[in-house]
A and B are shown apart, each in its own frame.
Chain A
Amino acid sequence: MAKKVLMCGNEALAEAAIIAGCRFYAGYPITPQNEIPAYMSKRMPEAGGVFIQSESELAAINMVFGSSLTGARAMTSSSSPGISLKQEGISYLAACELPAVIVNIMRGGPGLGNIAPSQSDYFQAVKGGGHGDYRQIVIAPASVQEMADLTMLSFDLADKYRMPVMILGDGILGQMMEPVEFKAETKPGIKKDWILDGCKGRKPRIIKSLILNESELEKFNLKLQKRYKEIKDKEQRCEVLYGDDSDIMLVAYGTPSRICRSVVEKLRKKGKKVGMIRPITLWPFPEDAFKKLAKKIKSFLVVEMSCGQMIEDVKLAIDCARPAHFYGRTGGEIPGEDDIIKEIENING
């Protein structure tokens, strides 16, 4: 067993990317994710990879586009305002069926907002963000260990489905330190027979997103949709606490899920029937688990560091069969245990 080391989330994520075979990183400074490029600037050259501090987030995501089409595992990271700039490139990655990992260590918004942790980019991440009929897989770690483990998973999913994968963290997950264990030393890559590396011994290849003919573009979009359906069927991930005997289920991902976890433990000790469901994949949303829970649970309380974004997917998943309540803080404020407990008491009457 590998030994545990104390690291901040951003660094654990970066090291995990190197272990996963990421050999290209481009990014632009923005708080609270600066530990990622700083770590990469040191580790990439050691690993024989490429680190570029780009002139902008736009350039970074397009450098990732270029590297990905050569078959390299490529990554960029940023925080909310920078992720807005990357949306153009993410749409092109999706259209060109190129794998890439994009990290968003979310901060308060809209606009420049602040550098405090937030979850207000949920809609942007799971509903498209960029233009066109596309999806990206969205992964939500909730600990430093998961920042590492789920980063490795993200590279595998990106390659497997040939699409962008976004890791949606927040400022707390990026900055806080916890013990982490890297469970692999290297990860084998996936053979790619579509890359551009010069046409020696084969026919020339084209990687592009322009499809002028309407029926061809529709056909292509439907091909993507078929893949998205497969992902929805196979890749939903979540953690459920006390799913069998709870009256009320807290719903949270990332940092609020850590707070909800201790709320659940506290209230359980008092004999209250409270549980939690923590989506790990935000897209695909773990609908199947929600549907099952909706048959047994009286109500849901969605806790977010936003004004209410994921709650829409919860309502869709349970088809409004049960009441879904909301408690959220915004602007970088963090929901407190006592506030959540008060909400639960209000709901239970």
Chain B
Amino acid sequence: MDKIFEKPESIREKETHYCPGCGHGIVHRVICEVVDDLGIREKLIGIAPVGCAVIAYDYWNFDVTEAAHGRVPAVATGIKRSLPDRIVFGYQGDGDLGAIGTAEIIHAANRGENITIIFVNNTVYGMTGGQMAPTTLLKQKTATTPAGREQKMHGFPLKVCELLSVLPGVVYAERVTAHSPQNILKAKKAIKKAFENQIKGLGFSIVEVLSPCPTYLGLSPQDAVKWVGEELTKEYPLKIFKDIT
């Protein structure tokens, strides 16, 4: 019998701390599948963010560091510039990348740093208890928007791929989603391309992955993936925003 689906080498056996139905486990695995496919595990340095994915280093079977909140792109810059022949990727959530680390992501992208950023957008701060994220939808209820996000008070949902794709340093920006098997396969293709761009030395690539957080959406895991597919993709359209590779 042939294995048609098994754990990638780049992921560890350890069970994750993620809630049932959380998209992080899927995105972690997909990254590891890509790393195995490209044979880059031994020259890879990953950077975990602050947020729910802070313990990603426990799940990935390659060199990993962990950055201060929002500083992943700056740390990635320091690593990649010092070791240009290694592969460096940052894993960031919506609060990490879209709020506290906005300056770092924009300038790393604008410098055209030859790195790969995987941006997981689940519209809430999971680790701290479901507060509003920069990407929270209008009217979406969170721990800090009990009546729903109101534009006058909290502004608009932040469109990261749209923003970054106008920067000349960005060679590839795509938004995908992890809410269904078909879309996860597409996400894998995008993530693979983002790593291949770096291997070829082309510049800054970002893949935004829409991801379910059943716990803080207040939905069952099954309803959460449906919500991502039906509602979240309306505000955040799935698209290649830029590809000049």
Instruction: Given A62-B68, A62-B78, A208-B48, answer yes or no on A198-B104 (Cβ-Cβ < 8 Å).
Output: no
Q: Is the Cβ of B103 less than 8 Å from the Cβ of A59?
A: yes
Residue in contact with B78 in the complex, picked from A26, A199, A201, CB distance below 8 Å: A26
- Residue A64 CB within 8 A of the other chain: yes
Q: How far apart are B169's CB and chain A's nearest CB, in angstroms?
A: 13
A193 within 8 A of B: no
Interface positions, chain A 49-65, Cβ under 8 Å from B, are 50, 52, 54-56, 58-60, 62-65
Give the residues from 1 to 15 in chain B that come closer than 8 angstroms, CB to CB, to chain A. none
Is the pair B67, A62 in contact by a Cβ cutoff of 8 Å?
A: yes
> In the complex, how many residues of chain B place their beta carbon closer than 8 angstroms to a beta carbon of chain A?
35
Mask of A80-95 contacts with B, CB within 8 angstroms, 1/0: 0000000011001000
Subset of 10 A-B contacts with CB under 8 Å = A24-B82, A58-B104, A66-B77, A67-B82, A92-B67, A199-B63, A200-B43, A206-B63, A208-B48, A208-B65
Asked if A24 and B63 sit within 8 Å, CB to CB, the answer is no
- Determine the chain A residues whose CB is within 8 A of the CB of B62 once the complex forms: 198-199, 204
In angstroms, Cα B80 to Cα A52, docked, is 12
A52 to B48, CA, bound (A): 23
Q: Please provide the 5 A-B residue pairs with the shortest distance between their CB atoms, ordered closest to farther.
A: A66-B78, A62-B74, A55-B107, A63-B78, A200-B42
Known: A59-B77, A69-B65, A197-B86. 15 other contacts (CB 8 A): A24-B81, A50-B81, A55-B107, A59-B74, A66-B74, A66-B78, A70-B83, A74-B78, A88-B68, A199-B42, A199-B62, A205-B63, A206-B63, A207-B66, A209-B66
Please tell me the size bucket of the interface on A: 35 or more
Q: Is B75 a contact partner of A62 (Cβ separation < 8 A)? A: yes
Assess the A65–B67 pair: CB atoms within 8 A: yes
Q: From B64, B77, B82, give the contact of A204 (CB < 8 A).
A: B64
B173 CB–A CB distance under 8 Å: no
Query: Which A residues are within 8 Å of any B CB, using their own CB?
Result: 23-24, 26, 50, 52, 54-56, 58-60, 62-72, 74, 88-89, 92, 96, 196-201, 204-210
Across-interface contacts of A201 in B (CB, < 8 A): 42
Residue interface mask B40-73, A partner, CB < 8 A = 1: 0111110010000011010011111111100100
